[in-house]
Each structure stands twice: as C-alpha cells, then as structure tokens.
Structure 1
Amino acid sequence: MSDPARTSRQLVLLLIAGGLASILTAWGFQLIGGYVPCKLCLEQRIPYYVGLPLALLALLVMLRGTPAQGRLAVTVLLLAVAGVFAWGAGIGAYQAGAEWGFWAGPADCGGGGGMPDSAANMLNALRSTRVVSCTEASWRMFGLSFAGWNAVISAGVAVLALAGAWIWRRGSAA
C-alpha cells in the first residue's frame, strides 16, 4: 500500500522541477537564443514567479510533518498553486489562439516604451528596438508556439498541484 504523504511530496517535487525547467527554458530562449518576449509572454511568467515559491512552501510544510494545521496549510497552498497555473494556462491558450487567428490579440501588445528626447536618440532607438507582436509566433515545435507550450505545461503543473492536494487531504482523512 502506498503512502499518500510520500506520493503528494513526489507530485509537488515533480511540479517544482517541471515548473523550474519551464521558466529556465523561457529565460534561456530569451537570453541565449535571442528571442524577445512580448507583453503576454512576460505575463505568462508571473505564475512561475508566484506559484513555484508557494509550491516550495507547501513542500516545506509537508516535510515538517505537522498534523491538522499543516495539512490544511498544504492543501490551501497547493490549491493556490493550481489556481495560479490555471490562470497561466489560460493566458497561454489566449495568446496561442490569437497567434492562430482564432480571435484578436490585445491591442496594446507590440512593444514600445518612452518617447526619445531627440532625433538622434530616436534613430538609435529605431535601430536597436525589436517590436514583438503577441499575435505572431516567433517559434513553433510540433505546431505549438511558446504560448501553446506554456498553456500545456501550466495546465500540467496545475493538475499536479490539484492531485497533490487531493492525495494529501485523502491521506490526512485516513
């Protein structure tokens, strides 16, 4: 018979490893590969910045082995992680759909910043600025863009968090 607490910890470890690999890959494509993220791409990173620390906190509470209070805290933390990554999956699906032309993307996505203060600075800005559209996929693998893959990965992380919470609660009821 398997230990529900151990299974939950393993799911949370898998969640953290997968999420960390995903966000590090995104940073790698940006910093090493030269892919410039758009506004929605940057927004899709927020669940990783919020959800992974919450998952790590849940894992630390799990490892402390505290009874009822810890079990409730872990469940709440993992449900929050699931919610945050579900939101990230939704943003990824929205952007992927916009890239495929299923619906319009955001009107304010495409780069830009402050106005240059002189003509010379404007010319330098035009030479160095790459405007990135939220509705044009810069890369695809097996038909999915960065946004499409993020939707899949974020949904998977959300499912792992839900499964971890469910098994953790089921184990605490026994």
Structure 2
Amino acid sequence: MLNQFPLTRWPLLMAAGSLMMLLGAWGFEYIGRYAPCALCYDQRYIHMAVIALGLASGAALIVRPNLGRFAPWALFVIAAILLYSFGFAGWHAGIEYDWWDGPATCTTAGTVSVNTADLFAALDGEIPAVMCDEAAWTLLGISMAGYNALISLGMAGVSIFVGLQGLRK
C-alpha cells in the first residue's frame, strides 16, 4: 500500500494527515464544545509546522521534479517534527494520567494570578477554565493527547519507512 504513491507525493500526504488531525481538534472544540488547554494549543502548532513543511516541500517537488532526490530528506525532517509531536503529546497525556506533574500554569496544583474581571467571566461561564491535567474526552481510556501521540508516532514511522525506501532506490 505504501508504494501506491510516488515518493515525491509523500510530503503532501503527511501534510494531509496533520491537517486531518488539526481538523479533528477543531471539530472537538467547535462542534463538540471541548475547550482545549494550553498544551492542546501547543500541539496544534506542531501539526501546523508539518502542514507548512509538507506543503512547501510537496509543491517544490511537483514544480521541480528534478528535486526528487531530496524527497527522502524532506520526509525525514517531517518525521522528526512528528516524533517531537509524539513526545509532546505523550508528555501531555502523562500529565492527564497523573504519571508526572505538568506546568504549574495550567494544572490544578498550579497558582495563576488573574484579575477580578477574568474571575467573574470564568464564574459566569464566559471563559472556560481548562486544566492541562484533566482529560476533556477519552475513548477506550485514551485521551485526545494520547491519540495525538499514537497517530503522530505512526505518521513518523511511515515517513521514515518511505524515506528509507526512497534512499534505497
């Protein structure tokens, strides 16, 4: 199945995978009304980097086919970003499962200074108080951060595998 697409299209496929992850996160936020925490936002930026790099390198490979020899290296850079996403999302999931402490600014143990207007807005439900150590949603005991880690790891593995195949050719 991995050989169905030319090597030069794989950066675009990885960008599409990260775009699907981002659309899923936005769907949970805007349709499902699950407000993201600060670490959730940070994870989105990592996928935005994959999208940008995948689109840029994929477009370059389409416009300039003679750059095809660089496709494996683009995939390795994308894989490195996805491995970072795996680590970051895994760290966040570990915070949600109480395996380790998270940043004091977004966990229930942390102290944050707020002004009275922010406090009243939060009490009125205008500003959701979202903690990084509380999973907003789980499926089969795995949180959204946990799924992000697993999917990012899978995408990184595919990028590395396809990139290595491209180097062998």
Fold match by TM threshold 0.5:
yes
Range class of TM-score, shorter chain:
0.7 to 0.9
| 2:80 equivalent to 1:83 | yes
Provide the rounded CA distance (Å) in 1 between the counterparts of 2:117 and 2:59. Answer: 54
Q: Could you tell me which residue of structure 1 aligns to residue 49 of structure 2?
A: 50
Change (3 A) 1:122 1:99: closer
TM-score (norm 1): 0.80
Unaligned residue ranges in structure 1 (runs of 5+): none
| 2:160 equivalent to 1:144 | no
Residue type at the aligned position of 2:42: E
Change (3 A) 1:115 1:95: closer
Identity %: 32
Offset, 1:113: 8.7
Q: Could you tell me which residue of structure 1 aligns to residue 91 of structure 2?
A: 94
Residue type at the aligned position of 1:35: Y
- Is the CA contact 2:105–2:112 (under 8 Å) kept in the aligned structure 1? no
Unaligned residue ranges in structure 2 (runs of 5+): none
Within a 5 Å distance, the mapping from 1:1-150 to structure 2 comes to 6-9=5-8, 11-64=10-63, 66-67=65-66, 69-72=67-70, 74-110=71-107, 115-116=114-115, 122-127=119-124, 128-150=126-148
- Is the CA contact 1:11–1:160 (under 8 Å) kept in the aligned structure 2? no
Q: 31-40 vs 76-85, which deviates more? A: 76-85
Q: Could you tell me which residue of structure 1 aligns to residue 162 of structure 2?
A: 164
Change (3 A) 1:57 1:163: farther
CA shift digits 1:62-97 (9 cap, x unpaired): 334633x5423x233222211111111111111111
Provide the rounded CA distance (Å) in 1 between the counterparts of 2:113 and 2:4. Answer: 52
Offset, 1:59: 2.2
CA shift digits 1:8-60 (9 cap, x unpaired): 24644542332221110101110111111111111111121111121122322
* Higher RCO by CA contacts (8 Å cutoff, separation 6 or greater): 1
Residue type at the aligned position of 1:135: D
TM-score (norm 2): 0.82
Change (3 A) 1:124 1:57: closer
CA shift digits 1:106-130 (9 cap, x unpaired): 21215999844xx567523431222
Q: 92-101 vs 51-60, which deviates more? A: 51-60
RMSD: 2.8
Provide the rounded CA distance (Å) in 2 between the counterparts of 1:35 and 1:9. Answer: 37
